Each structure stands twice: as C-alpha cells, then as structure tokens.
Structure 1
Amino acid sequence: MKLTFAGTGSAFCMAADNFQSNMVLEVEQPGSDQPARLLIDCGSDARHSLRNLGHMPNDFDAVYISHLHSDHIGGLEWMAFANYFIFEGHRVKLLAVHELIDPLWEHSLRGGLEISDKGNSCLSSYFDVQSLTPKDGFDWQEMHFDVIPVEHVVTTQNTMMSYALFGHGKNKSFFLTTDAIFNRDAHMPLYRKADIIFQDCELGPRHSGVHAHYEQLVTLPAEIKAKMWLYHYQAYAKPDAVADGFCGFIEPGQSFDLG
C-alpha cells in the first residue's frame, strides 16, 4: 500500500514545481498488473498534478472528498466530463459524508454538469455516490477508514467541518488531518494512536486560524512530532522541521509505504 502526494501546497499554490495537496492511495490487486487507486480530494489543479504522476481520470476506482473548498473539489467537473466523454463512461465511486453530497452538487458542480448531451444530469450520472457517516467510516480494498469530523473554519455564524481520515492498514495506521485548525486536545488521542501522521501546516507570518500553524505544531510533544510529516504549506521559506523534531516537510510526488 502506497500513499503519494500529488502536491503538497496550499489552496493558493502557484509554484511551477508544486500543486494543491491531493493524494493517491494505491493497493496492489492480486491477478492484475494495475493497482486499485483511491484519490483523496480532487482539487482545481488535479488535471495537472495527476498527469505529472502519470495518471489519467480513468485510472481511479474511487475519490474521497474531505470538504468543499476548491483545492479539494475543484477538479471533480474535469474528472466527471473526462471519464464520461473520453474514457467510455468510466465510473468512479465518490465517497463523501452525507452532509457534503447535496451542497457539493447544488453549490459547486450543478452549474457545469447538469446539462449534458443526454439532457439533465445529476451527481450520480457521473459517479457512483456512496454516502458516508463518521459513525461507520468506510472500507476500501480491505482497509478500514475512520471518518473524523475536524473543525476547519470557525466563525460566530457557522463552523465548516472537514472530514479527516484515520486509516487502518495491515501493518501501519495513519492519521491524515485534511484541513483542520490546531486543536491539541481533540487531536491528541489520534496523534498517539497513529503510526504516522500527515499534518496540514501553515507557514509565514500570518496565522489564518483555519489550519494548524508551524509555530503551534512545534509545541507538540517530541514523541508526536517524531512521527509527523507536514504538508499543505505555502511558498514561504521552510524552517528546519527535522531539527525541530518532525519527520520533515513532504515534497511533491513523495510516496510513503503504508504496509
């Protein structure tokens, strides 16, 4: 099982050598020369970042959506149309918590995808939609994933949740924060339980309050930082994360063997 970061940048990444933070999870399939692939989020630049890895839209069996910001869903229209028109109607399973599915269609995808060559369409015209609940999580390729609500954008009017993943592999477990504020108390049990942590991390002088900032993460216990990799960073000069006790900053295209 291998997890590859198609990009490690923030939503506003414009670096020529980096892309938004979307990931490809691959599992070998007995009797097949092609692995099963799960795309974790499909952002606006996915058509470039995936091509950079040598993947096309029909190379995926499923896509998981953590929340509704464009660096996590902005490539879904491209994936839908490319599979529908170019790759003979190849269907990808779309995995998302129930609360995201209607707004994903109504507020993000309907304008571009509803009217097609065969009349009005809906989300299930392009994807095999699987509605998830945090209570149950989901299984993919004999691997179980816990789906964990994490606070991402908190205001006096509302709170936007993202849905982190805790993957239970055969030999390793991992916690992928997706996009989350720094919440030491809420996340500590997950940090302690995971064998490897993939943590979104802001850099730069401004703390946006919607991601964990490096200056906050560096205060974590040494045993937590020792299994934590950092991603979703902006194009500022990176501090010496290894010297500060982390595994390091993930580079675009970097892969991890998850056993």
Structure 2
Amino acid sequence: MKLTFAGTGSAFCMAAENFQSNMVLETTPLGDEQPQRLLIDCGSDARHSLRNLGHLPNDFDGVYISHLHSDHIGGLEWMALANYFVFDGHRAKLFAVKELLEPLWEHSLRGGLETSDHGNSQLSSYFDVVPLKAKDGFDWQDMHLDVIPVPHIVTSETTMFSYALFGHGAKTSFFLTTDAIFNPAAHMAFYQKADIIFQDCELGPRHSGVHAHYDELVTLPDDVKAKMWLYHYQAYDKPDAKADGFCGFIEPEQVFDLG
C-alpha cells in the first residue's frame, strides 16, 4: 500500500508546481490486476493535481472527505459530473462522517448537481454514500482507518472539526492530521503510536490559529519530530526542517510506502 501526495499546499497555494493537500491511498489486492484507489479529500485543484499523477476521475474507487473547506471538497462537483457524463456513470464510494453529509449537499454541492438530465438528483445519484461514525472508523481494503475528530476552527460560538485519520496497516501505521490546531495534549497518544506522522504545518509570519504553525511544531519532543513529515504549507521560504529534527517537508507527488 502506498500514499501519494497529489499536492502539499495550503488552501491558497499559488506555487506553480504545487496544489492543495489531497492524497491518494492505493493498493492492489492479492489476485487483482487493477489497483484500488481512495482519494483523501478532493479540493478545487483536484482535476489538475490528479492529472499530473496520471489519474482520471474514474480511477478512484472511493473518496474520503475530512471537512467542508473548498481545498478539501471543491473538486467533488467536477468528479461527480465527469464520472456521470464522461465515464459511463462510474460511481465511487463517498466516505464521510454522517454529520458532514447534509451540509456537504445542501450548502456546497446541491446548486451544481441537483438539476440533471435524469431529473432532480441528490448526493446518492452520483456517489455510493457511506456515512461514518467517528467511533467506528472504516475499512479500506486491508487497512482499518480510525476517524478522529480534531478541532480546526475554535470560536466562542462553535468549533469546526476536521476528521483526521489513523491508518492501521499490516506493517506501518500512520497518523494524518488533516487540518488541525496545534493540540499536543490531544494528539500525543496518536503521535506516539504511529510509525509515521503526516502533519499539517503553517508557515509565514502570521499564526492563523486554525493550523499548527511551524514555530509550535518545533517545540514537540524529538522522538515525535523524528517520524513527522510536514505538509499543507504556504509558498514561503521553508525552514530547515531536517536540522530541526523533522523528517522534512513533503514535496508534491511524493510517495510513501506503507507496506
């Protein structure tokens, strides 16, 4: 099984050779010739970043959505319509926690997808929808994925959660933070348990408070940083992450062998 970063940039990434942080989890089941691919988030840049990897919308058997920002869902309308009109009605499974599905449709996708040549549509007209309970997680091929609510935006009125993933592979486990505030007390158990950590990391002079900033992450224990890769960064000059004890910054199209 391997994990490929289609892009490693932030929501507003304008770097010519980088895109938003969406990933492809891929495996070829024993006895099959065709790989099975799960797209982790499908942002506005997806049609470009996936093309660079050589993938078309019908190359995916599933899509996992961590939360409802456009760099994570902005490409779903493209994927739905391309699969319906161009790729013979190919259907992928859509994995998301149940609480995200209604606002995903009502506030993000309904305007562009409801009216179609087959009459009024809904989310299940385009995807095989799999509502998730965070406490249960889900299985993808031979890997179990825990779904972990992590605070992303915290205000006095509400908290917006993103849903991180902890993958249990046969040989390698990983923690993928998706979009999360710096919260070492809550994340330390996952940091310590994982063989490899994929951590969203903000750069630049402004600390937004909705992502972990490099200045915060550098304070983590050495044994945690030693297995942590950084992604979801802006197009600022990058610090020397390896000198600071990290594995480094992930580059676009970088592939990780998960065993």
Q: TM-score range by the shorter chain?
A: over 0.9
The answer for unaligned runs of 5 or more in structure 2 is none
Q: 1:202, CA displacement in angstroms?
A: 0.1
Q: 1:162, CA displacement in angstroms?
A: 0.1
Which amino acid in 2 is paired with 1:258? L
Who is 2:79 aligned against?
Answer: 79
Cα distance in 1 for partners of 2:116, 2:219 equals 52
Cα distance in 1 for partners of 2:151, 2:32 equals 40
Q: What whole-Å deviation, never above 9, does each CA across 1:166-209 have from its counterpart, x for those lacking one?
A: 00000010000000000010000000000000000000000000
Cα distance in 1 for partners of 2:34, 2:206 equals 43
Cα distance in 1 for partners of 2:232, 2:5 equals 10
1:177 aligned to 2:177? yes
Residue 162 of structure 1 aligns to a residue in which SS? strand
Who is 2:51 aligned against?
Answer: 51
**RMSD, matched Cα:** 0.5
Which amino acid in 1 is paired with 2:119? G
Who is 1:162 aligned against?
Answer: 162
Who is 1:212 aligned against?
Answer: 212
Q: 1:158, CA displacement in angstroms?
A: 1.0
Q: TM-score, normalised by structure 2?
A: 0.99
Residue 151 of structure 1 aligns to a residue in which SS? strand
The answer for unaligned runs of 5 or more in structure 1 is none
Who is 1:29 aligned against?
Answer: 29
Q: What whole-Å deviation, never above 9, does each CA across 1:32-66 have from its counterpart, x for those lacking one?
A: 33210000000001000000000000000000000
Residue 167 of structure 1 aligns to a residue in which SS? strand
Who is 2:230 aligned against?
Answer: 230
Cα distance in 2 for partners of 1:111, 1:97 equals 22
Q: 1:75, CA displacement in angstroms?
A: 0.2
Q: TM-score, normalised by structure 1?
A: 0.99
Residue 146 of structure 1 aligns to a residue in which SS? strand
Q: What whole-Å deviation, never above 9, does each CA across 1:14-39 have from its counterpart, x for those lacking one?
A: 11100000000001123333210000
Q: How many residues align?
A: 259
Q: 1:132, CA displacement in angstroms?
A: 0.3
Cα distance in 2 for partners of 1:28, 1:129 equals 23
Cα distance in 1 for partners of 2:199, 2:127 equals 29
Decide which moves more: 64-73 or 21-30. Answer: 21-30
Cα distance in 1 for partners of 2:31, 2:166 equals 28
Cα distance in 2 for partners of 1:166, 1:46 equals 23
Who is 1:140 aligned against?
Answer: 140
Decide which moves more: 28-37 or 243-252. Answer: 28-37
Which amino acid in 1 is paired with 2:198? F
Cα distance in 1 for partners of 2:218, 2:230 equals 11
Residue 189 of structure 2 aligns to a residue in which SS? helix
1:61 aligned to 2:55? no
Who is 1:129 aligned against?
Answer: 129
Cα distance in 1 for partners of 2:162, 2:211 equals 11
Structure 1 ranges of 4+ moved more than 4 A: none
Cα distance in 2 for partners of 1:74, 1:142 equals 29
Q: What whole-Å deviation, never above 9, does each CA across 1:107-153 have from its counterpart, x for those lacking one?
A: 00000000000110000000000000111000110210000000000
1:38 aligned to 2:38? yes
